[in-house]
Amino acid sequence: MFLGIRRGTRGRVAIALATLSLTSMGVTAITTGAGASSGLTPPTAGMKAQTSIGKGEGKLNLIAWEGYAQPQWVKPFEQQTGCVVNTKYAGSSGEMVSLMANGGGGQYDLVSASGDADLRLIYGGDVKPVNVKLIPSWKQLRPFLQSPSFNTIKGVHYGVSLQFGPNVLLYSTTTFKTAPTSWSVIYSKKYKGKVKVTVPNNPIQIADAALYLSKSKPSLGVTDPYELTQTQFSAAVALLTAQKPLIAKYWNLASDEINLFTSGTAVVGAAWPYQTTTLKAAHVKVEETIPSQGATGWADSWLLAKNAPDPNCAYDWMKYITTPQVQAEQAVYYGETPDNSLACPLMNKLQAGSCNAYHANEPDSYFKSIKFWKTPLSTCDNGKTDCIPYSEWTNAWTQITG
Amino acid sequence: MDPDNGVSTLEPATSGGTKSLRSSALSHRWGTAFLLTPPLLWFFVLYVSSLVLMLITAFWSLNGFTGNVTHQLTGANFHQIASGSYPAIIGRTVLLAALVTVTDAIIAFPFAYVMARVATQRAQRLLLVAVLLPLWASYLAKIYAWISILERGGALNWTFQHLGLPSPNLGFTNGAMWLTFSYIWLPYMIVPLFGALERIPGSLLDASSDLGASSWWTFRHVIVPLALPGLVAGSIFTFSLTLGDYVTPLLVGGANSTLIGNAIYQNLLDGGNLPLAAALSTVPIAIMVAYLLVAKRFGAFESL
Amino acid sequence: MKRRLLARGGLWLWVWAVLAFLFGPIITIVIFSFDRSNIETLPIRSWTLSWYQVAWHDEQVRQAFVLSIKAACAATVLALLLGSLAAFGVHRARFFGRDTVSLLLVLPIALPGIITGVALNSTFQWAGISLSIWTIIIGHTTFCIVVVYNNVVARLRRTSATLFEASADLGASTSQTFRFVTLPLIATALVSGGLLAFALSFDEVIVTTFTAGAQNTLPIWIFGAIRLGQQLPEVNVVVTAVVVLMLIPIIIAARLTGRDTFSASSTRAPTN
């Protein structure tokens, strides 16, 4: 839910937060309407994106995930462009949305939002259209990430895709001699008392449970883990409630989970590839796998603040951060997959075998098996309105973990 | 002589009931207003107004369909926090805050007593430095230190094993939370307690023993009552700081460590459910009101 | 007599135990600052000084430290002013709202920081105040006031009003009474309240997240560094350095407090 759980929660439902200040101040809230599929137009859709990049303003203020603005690639950028970078690290998607209130408050230029926060920011009117023609490397991005539905609405881009990664099953090889093939190891009662599990403290775990149920209980008819009817939702919640006795801890920071595995407090759980590589580097006996049911995943983008004070430096940054070399550096540092398809060989130059380790060379079918996070909305994609919205997900999650 | 009387006559009532003050009651009142205006203005303009506007939403609701806040009075949010896991979360938080406060009071009292009444001037200064110094080691770094002390293979288990005792395995439990909180807020209890104990006139204690009172009697009937304002001041910190914290449970807590703060954070920032978060926020406010009323009942504010 | 000695011994034993409790984690932090691995586990496999070098050359850390010191100083001064004004006012007042004031002042620390943070953030946004060091100071002052207030009000409750009256009766002006009677009486409470307020401000993360602009304070930097765990040893280095640095002002403050204790005890005599 917090701090480390960067990719939490999107939920256009929660646009209320971005505007809560205004609502509570007596100003009318921005109507959020239904989701992307309903044809609602974001408030800033009419704003004209700039057609050229002017002289840099000399500074650039970012809201980013920790590890997304490392000196290795920020320093060269500053030298090349003269834009001095200030970075504010956010602890969760909720924090990002909150900090971006009022279009970045005239303070921030760009935010490295995850797919879950994107629509909140777009429909909240906090970000504005981006002209991708000014970003040469945009064409090198994997096709499915050039205009993904989480940052592009009706052909209007609100930012540029950055990096992504799967939520893998991490396990201790001392406990599991062979790789588990099913997520059941973190749910099944038969492991009670034998293994200690850790999963992210994040309402989006309900989608992980739903993904598992889609295979283990086909009768429920789960097709999209982010679009659950009341029956499906209740089944997922029941599964997670039954899982609780197995849980050693719901982890909050990436470093939490590293601690849990190092000390042996937990031996199996949901993780990012980052934890796996960090643990392996510290000689902890772990491996990761994607079980037969598939996995959920995140995808991040740099979105342009509506009231960005330094738009030219912001464009310079988007140009720079999408180039193969910088993409490779960030991917290797963070342990995630670069969006630029040319980054793979450069990754291997930085760290042998890293392209393979972070799945940068997988075919498109692999990426399709990952269910990227999206906001649970009350309006399902099929137009029906019986899906459970995200505010109820968080409430249920609080109840499960409480 | 009635001992309680004896003590209280040494502390004349501060009610302003003396002649010189009564004659200038008007200017006294103006003076009070003059003193209180800047801090209250600060509070109302900057804090209370925004807080109230935010908390009003507790009586509104979130439209599940549009995700907007509906401006219609409802008690649904309060109904919700009275059901499911929320009562357990609230109960856990209050219990923990109380436990931490009592623990800190017990740890701090003898320590502050030595600082104030036993130690030499030099030792007193050193102890004061020792109490204050840990405050500068980042709160987050200290929590991390506790994790590495308490977890399996940590310093605590290691010590117990070498003493031939069973491992306490406190890592990532509510016990770890209790220990960490007690540790982090301890200086906030010691300092005011030291202040109160230090101000007890030595002659009073001499008088008590001269009149044949035992050390225990003096402690119970002279020292404790006179230290009470300091104890209350300290307990307000330990109690309320625990009540509002949500980082410690996240980092050192286990699977059953959700506190009110976590529930608020989750519903507010992740879920965007401002009305429910606001309703939950009224709980710590109500608890603090109750706490201050109880403290008052115990005469902590008035008797001295 | 023997029992008394035994009691004294017991008390000192307690003091040593509490000191061990207070410093155990600090020592842990110092030890891990020499650990090459960025995962904190015992025993430490490989020792290094390299993290000290990393931290020394880290421009972000320097800037964050300076910003934190500036903000904490300003917030402490404001909290001292407003907190003692509130304490004097409440102490003199005999009105029903007295407890309300106490409650009001304690709210910013009793409510989860997230509430204070988001509420202040909304107000700033609404009023069009852009986030800067000033908004950090405003946020910090808001929750630091209570620390000063509680210390001073506890002291005033223990102080006899007759002292001020005697001063007035002897012809002292209000400012003279304040300078020569009131101030010495509350000086130690101000010093300790100020130190606690400074510490609270210097170490605050949550409210700061929502009131700070693009610049990071030290705790915000630390929080960022802790999240991924890559720079954990650097955090330990920074914390160690801060603790050592802070020894100086704390010792000075403790000396001041000690001296005031001395002079306060001489003013104490007439009360009895």
Q: What is the pLDDT of residues C36-83, one digit of tens each?
A: 776 666 666 778 777 788 778 777 888 888 999 999 999 999 999 999
Which of the residues C192, C220, C221, C262 would you substitute to probe the B interface, choosing the one with the greatest number of B C-beta atoms within 10 Å? C192
**Which positions 223-262 of B are in contact with A (Cβ < 8 Å)?**
246-247, 250-251, 253-255, 258, 262
- To the nearest whole angstrom, how far is the Cα of B188 from the nearest Cα of chain C? 7
CATH, residue B184:
1.10.3720.10
- What subunits touch chain B, counting only 3 or more CB pairs under 8 A? A, C
pLDDT digits (tens, 9 = 90+) for A383-401: 777 888 888 888 888 888 8
- CB-nearest to C226 from A88, A99, A255 is A255
Instruction: Give the torsion sign (CA, A176, A182, A183, A187).
Output: negative
A172 touches chain B (CB under 8 A): no
From C103, C165, C219, residue closest to B18, measured CB to CB: C165
- Could you tell me if residue C167 is inside a domain? yes
pLDDT of residue B69: 67
Domain annotation covers residue C208? yes
Taken in order of first residue, the domains within chain A and their CATH numbers are 12-165+298-362 (3.40.190.10), 174-296+378-401 (3.40.190.10)
Residue recorded with tokens 């910090």: C140
Q: If you average pLDDT over every residue of chain A, what do you get?
A: 83
Please, where are the H alpha helices in A282-380?
311-321, 324-334, 344-350, 354-357, 364-369
The 3-state secondary structure of B173-238 reads: CHHHHHHHHHHHHHHHHHHHHHHHHHCCCHHHHHHHHHCCCCHHHHHHHHHHHHHHHHHHHHHHHH
Q: Which of B36, B252, B265 to mutate to test the interface with C (most CBs of C within 10 A)?
A: B36
Range of the domain at B249: 85-297
Instruction: Answer yes or no: is C270 within a domain.
Output: no
Over residues B80-136, the pLDDT tens digits come to: 888 888 899 999 999 999 999 999 999 999 999 888 888 888 888 888 888 888 888
State how far the Cα of B251 lies from the Cα of A91, in Å rounded to an integer. Answer: 13
The span from the CA of A45 to the CA of A10, in Å, is 20
CATH number of the domain bearing residue C125: 1.10.3720.10
Sign of CA dihedral A169, A173, A175, A176: positive
SS3 label, residue A373: coil
pLDDT level of residue B275 (50, 70, 90 thresholds): confident
Which pLDDT does position C1 carry in this prediction?
58
Nearest-neighbour CA in chain C from B141: distance (Å)? 7
In a domain, C52, yes or no: no
Chain C residues lying within 8 Å of B244, measured CB to CB:
109-113
Which positions of chain A have pLDDT values less than 70?
Answer: 1-40
Q: Is residue B6 part of a domain?
A: no
Tell me the C-alpha to C-alpha distance, in Å, between residue B146 and each of B134, B152, B154: 13, 12, 9
Print the domain residue range for C70.
60-265
Report the pLDDT value the prediction gives residue C265, as an integer from 0 to 100.
38
The answer as to whether C258 is a domain residue is: yes
pLDDT tens digits, one per residue of B73-92: 777 888 888 888 889 999 99
Domain count, chain C: 1
Is the CB of B67 less than 8 angstroms away from the CB of A32? yes
Nearest to C150 among B32, B146, B236 (CB): B236
| Helical spans, DSSP H, in chain C | 2-32, 50-56, 59-92, 98-110, 113-127, 133-157, 161-169, 174-177, 183-202, 206-211, 218-228, 232-268
Q: Which residues of A88-121 are buried (b: 16+ CB within 10 A; e: fewer)?
A: bbbbbbbbbbbbbbbbbbbbbbbbbbbbbbbbbb
Q: Report B:50-69 residues touching A (Cβ under 8 A).
A: 50, 53-54, 56-57, 62, 64-69
The distance in angstroms from the start CA to the end CA of chain B is 19
The strand pair at A84-89 and A110-111 is best described as unpaired
Residue A198 forms contact with B (CB below 8 Å): no
Residue B47 lies in a domain: no
Residue from A27, A98, A108 to probe the interface with C (highest C Cβ count within 10 Å): A98
Residue C51 forms contact with B (CB below 8 Å): no
pTM of the predicted model as reported, rounded to 2 decimal places: 0.82
Asked whether residue B62 is assigned to any structural domain, the reply reads no
Of all residues in chain B, the percent with pLDDT exceeding 90 is 13
Mutate to test the interface with C, among B170, B199, B215, B246 (most CBs of C within 10 A): B199
User: Any alpha helices (H) in B17-173, and if so which ranges?
Assistant: 19-22, 25-42, 49-56, 76-81, 86-113, 121-132, 139-150, 155-162
> Quick one: average pLDDT of B49-74?
71
Chain C residue with the nearest C-alpha to that of A17: C118
pLDDT band at B17 (very low <50, low <70, confident <90, very high): very low
User: What gap in Å lies between CA A257 and CA B294, rounded to an integer?
Assistant: 42
**Chains in contact with chain A (at least 3 beta-carbon pairs closer than 8 A):** B, C
pLDDT for position C90:
81
Which of C40, C130, C216 is nearest residue A105 as measured by Cβ atoms? C130
User: How near does any CA of chain A get to the CA of C127, in Å?
Assistant: 10
Nearest-10 Cα torsion for A36, A39, A45, A49: 80
Tell me whether residues B56 and A24 touch, CB distance under 8 A.
yes
pLDDT score for C41 = 66
Query: What tokens does B40 get?
Result: 């209250």
Average pLDDT over residues C203-229: 82
The three-state secondary structure class of C175 is helix
Contact between A20 and B274 using a beta-carbon 8 Å cutoff: yes
| Residue with tokens 């983008």, as numbered in its chain | A301
Structurally, chain B folds into a number of domains equal to 1
Distance separating alpha carbons of residues A212 and A290, to the nearest angstrom:
12
Q: Hey, which of A159-173, B262-276, C246-260 has the most confident mean pLDDT?
A: A159-173
pLDDT of residue B48: 86
Q: How many CA within 13 A on the CB side of residue B240?
A: 31
B117 touching C (Cβ < 8 Å): no
Of C22, C85, C250, the CB nearest to B186: C22
Indicate the range of A15-24, A225-234, B234-243, C249-258 predicted with least confidence: A15-24
Instruction: Select the residue of A99, A101, A278 nearest C229 (Cβ to Cβ).
Output: A278
Question: What is the C-alpha to C-alpha distance for residues B158 and B150, in angstroms, rounded to an integer?
Answer: 10
How far is residue B211 from each of residues B3, B215, B218, B226, C2, measured CA to CA in Å? 10, 11, 10, 18, 21
Average pLDDT, chain C: 78
Q: Could you tell me if residue C22 is inside a domain?
A: no
Query: Hey, which chains touch C, using 3+ CB pairs under 8 Å?
Result: A, B
Question: Cα dist. C104→B42, B44, C205 in Å?
Answer: 11, 9, 22
pLDDT confidence bin for C98, thresholds 50/70/90: low
pLDDT one-digit tens code per residue, B146-160: 888 887 777 788 788
Within 8 A by CB and 6+ apart from A93, the residues are A6, A7, A8, A9, A10, A113, A114, A116, A117, A120, B270
Comparing CA positions, the residue from B263, B122, B266, B101 lying closest to residue B192 is B101
What residues in A contact B253, CB-CB < 8 Å?
249
For A169-189, write each residue's pLDDT tens digit.
Answer: 999 998 888 888 999 889 888
The answer to the question of residue B42 being in a domain is: no
The pLDDT of residue C267 is: 36
Count Cβ–Cβ pairs < 8 Å, chain B vs chain C.
Answer: 332
In this predicted structure, what is the pLDDT of residue C180?
A: 75
Nearest Cβ partner for A255 among C209, C215, C229: C229
Q: B241 lies in a domain? A: yes
Q: Taking a C-beta distance cutoff of 8 angstroms, is the pair A215, A291 a contact? A: no
Chain C partners of B213 at a C-beta cutoff of 8 Å? none
Least confident interval from A95-99, B26-30, B244-248, C165-169: B26-30
- Cα dihedral: A72, A78, A83, A84 (round 10): 60
- Cα–Cα distance measured from residue C105 to residue C149, given in angstroms and rounded to the nearest whole number: 8
For B93, name the nearest residue in chain A, comparing CA atoms only: A402
Q: Are strands A268-271 and A197-200 parallel, antiparallel or unpaired?
A: parallel
Put simply, the answer to whether A32 touches B273 (Cβ < 8 Å) is: no
Q: Show Cβ contacts of residue A98 under 8 Å, excluding neighbours closer than 6 positions.
A: A17, A18, B269, C118, C121, C210
**3-state secondary structure at position C229:** coil
pLDDT at C95: 60
Q: Which residues of B touch C149 (CB under 8 A)?
A: 39
Q: Work out the angle between the directed axes of helices A311-321 and A324-334 (0-180°, nearest 10).
A: 80
Which residues in chain A (2-21) have CB-CB distances under 8 A to chain B? 2-3, 8-9, 11-17, 20
The pLDDT value recorded for residue A104 is 79
Of B66, B152, B250, the CB nearest to A265: B152
